[in-house]
Structure 1
Amino acid sequence: MRIAVLASGSGTILQAMIEASIPIQLVVTDRQCTAETIATHNNITLIRVERNSYGKDFDRDTYTCEVRDALIDHKIDLIAMAGFGTILNKPIYDDFSNRILNTHPSLLPSFPGWHAVEEALEYGVK
C-alpha cells in the first residue's frame, strides 16, 4: 500500500508514523513547515503545493486538482491528512473515496481551527 501524508505544520503525526515504521511514499505540504524537514531527513519524496502561489483570488478547485494529480502521479493508495491547513474540494474525495484518514484535532462545527482542543477544554467540554 502506497501512503501519502498531507501536512502543514510541525509534522508531529508524520514523525509518529515514521517511528511506527509505517511506510510513507510521499509527503505533500501547502507551505514551508517542519514536516518538510522531517520528510527530507527520512528520504521521503516531498511535494509542496504552495497555497499562496494562487494569489488573493484563491481557486480551491484548481488547487485541489493539483494536489490530487500529485497523489495520482505517485500511485498513492491511502492519504493521511495530518493537520493539512488547506481545505480540499470534491475532486480529491471522488478519486480517493474511503481512502482518506483525517487526523486534524478540530471538533466541527463547534470548535474549528488549529486550537480546537484548547478551546474545547476552556469551554468545559469533557
Structure 2
Amino acid sequence: MTGHTVGSQRPYRIAVFASGQGSNFQTLLDSSREGKLGAEIVLLVCNKPEAPVVERARRAGVECFLFEKKAYARREDYEAEIAQELERRSVDLIVLAGYMLLLTPVLVDAYQGRMINIHPSLLPSFPGKDAIGQAWEYGVKITGVTVHLVDGGMDTGPVIAQQAVEIAPEDTVESLEEKIHAAERDLYPQVVSWFAAGKVRIDGRRITVG
C-alpha cells in the first residue's frame, strides 16, 4: 500500500481532531502558513465547543465541526456526521492532536492508512493516558514521542516515526513535559509533510518513507 498522492490541481487537505488547548493544532497551522507542511488544514473537529483550540481555529479562519458526545445515542452517530463533513471537503488525512474520544470503525475503516496520531512515549512502551507520568514513575532514561497510524486500538497502530527524548538527572516531570512537547512540535509537521508529498509506504506494520 502506498501513501496517498494528490495531483497538483489542489492542495493536500487535512482535518485536525482536537479536544483541548490546541498546541499541536497551532504548530500544524503555523507550519502550513510557512509552507513547510505541504498541506492545508480545511477542518477542525472538536467535541468540546468551549475548548481553546476552537478559538485558535476561528482566528485562523479554519472551519469547525463542533459537537458534544452527550447529544448522540451512539458514537457511531456523531462519527457518521463527521464522515460527511470530511467527505464534503475531500479530506486526504485525519490528524489527531489531543482528541479525547475513542474512535469507531465508522472513521477508522473509512480512513485506514490515512489517520495518524501522536503519542508522548516511545510506543509500545507507556500507551494510554499520562504516558509522560508513566515513563517518569518507571524511571526510564529515554522516552520520546511516536507518530502512528490509527487502527482502532489504544495506541496500537503501526509506527510511522519516533523521536527520542533523554531524561536527564536534573529533569523534573515539568521539564520532561516541555521536552516532550518540543519533540512533538518538531516531529508531527514533518510526518504530515511526508504524507502530503506521497512519501509514505505502508506494508502491514512496516512503514517506510521515501
Indicate whether the TM-score tops 0.5. yes
Deviations 1:20-66 (A, max 9, x none): 12421110101121110110010000111221223xxx512223222
Determine helix, strand or coil for the equivalent of 2:120: coil
Q: Pairwise CA RMSD of aligned residues?
A: 1.9
Choose 97-106 or 39-48, whichever is displaced more: 97-106
Choose 91-100 or 62-71, whichever is displaced more: 62-71
TM-score by length of 1: 0.85
Q: Percent identity of the aligned residues?
A: 32
Contact 1:60 1:89 in 2 (8 A): yes
Does residue 36 of structure 1 match 2:51?
no
| Unmatched segments (≥5 aa) in structure 1 | none
**Distance (Å, rounded) in 2 between the aligned partners of 1:71 and 1:104:** 23
Report deviation, 1:88: 1.0
Aligned residues: 122
TM-score by length of 2: 0.53
**Distance (Å, rounded) in 1 between the aligned partners of 2:56 and 2:83:** 22
Q: Max radius of gyration: which structure?
A: 2
| Unmatched segments (≥5 aa) in structure 2 | 1-11, 143-210
